[in-house]
Amino acid sequence: MSTPENENTPTDADVSEDAPQEAPPEEQLDTSTTEPEDMSQQLRSENADLQDRLLRTQAELENFRRRTQKEAIDAIKYQALPIIRDFLPGVDNLNRAIDAAEQTGDTQTLIDGIKMVAQQFKDALKAHSAELIDPLGDAFDPNLHEALSQVPSADHDPMTVLQVVEPGYRIHDRVIRPAKVIVTSAPPAE
């Protein structure tokens, strides 16, 4: 009884020592030369594809860097644009108030126009999160106030803001300009 493995295996009688067992020449060509050549060609193709993708990715990254850098420069360059747009109507109205006062000679019109413009400027500052620091009557805080002078007072505690010479402003928790104030000091001892 023969097994399938033994059916294709040559026996001693089938193989002679004079005739070496070799595949026909066409089969040798197919197995020995074309497979490595195909594999080599496939590897070259994959390599070229990967190099192409690498170059494209590097180019995209460089374009992204340039675009991001340009956007950052533009953001810094034009960061004041919204604020300027908000202040221009106030400047225009101030000029109109001056023109109207010159034509009519009425100072009350000028005063009313200036008050209107001042309110526009305050509204524009508030729209950009700028808060007024007006510490009249508060205790002196060196983080928010700049003391210009001290005045002796028996009516107030020492280091109380007695007068605001110039109001301060802050955005959120950062002081833009401290309020310039006059503070009290202890009265002189008698």
Say yes or no: domain 131-190 is CATH 2.30.22.10.
yes
Phi/psi of residue 27, each to 5°?
-65, -35
Confidence band (pLDDT; 50, 70, 90) for 27? very low
Q: What are the distances in angstroms from CA 160 to CA 27, 107, 112?
A: 106, 37, 33
Please give the residue that has the higher pLDDT: either 111 or 17. 111
Q: What does the alpha-carbon distance between residue 54 and residue 39 come to, in Å, rounded to a whole number?
A: 22
pLDDT tens digits, 162-183: 999 999 999 998 999 999 999 9
Q: Which amino acid is at 115?
A: K
Cβ contacts of 24 within 8 Å, gap of 6 or more: none
pLDDT tens for each residue of 75-131: 999 888 888 888 888 888 888 888 887 888 778 878 888 888 889 888 888 888 899
The mean pLDDT of 144-152, rounded to a whole number, is 95
Q: Which residues contact 160 (CB under 8 A, 6 or more apart)?
A: 137, 138, 139, 140, 153, 183, 184
CA distance linking residue 9 with residue 60, whole number of Å: 61
Q: Work out the mean pLDDT of the chain and round it to a whole number.
A: 83
Residue 111: the pLDDT is 85
The arithmetic mean of pLDDT across residues 32-40, rounded, is 75
Beta strands 174-177; 130-133: pairing state: unpaired
Please report, for the chain, the start and end positions of each structural domain, with discontinuous segments joined by +: 26-79, 80-128, 131-190
Q: Rounded to an integer, what distance in angstroms lies between the CA atom of residue 24 and that of residue 35?
A: 17
Helix/strand/coil for 111: helix
Q: Residue 85's pLDDT is what?
A: 87
pTM: 0.55
Amino acid, single-letter form, for residue 155: D
Report the alpha-carbon distance of residue 32 to residue 158 in Å, rounded. Answer: 102
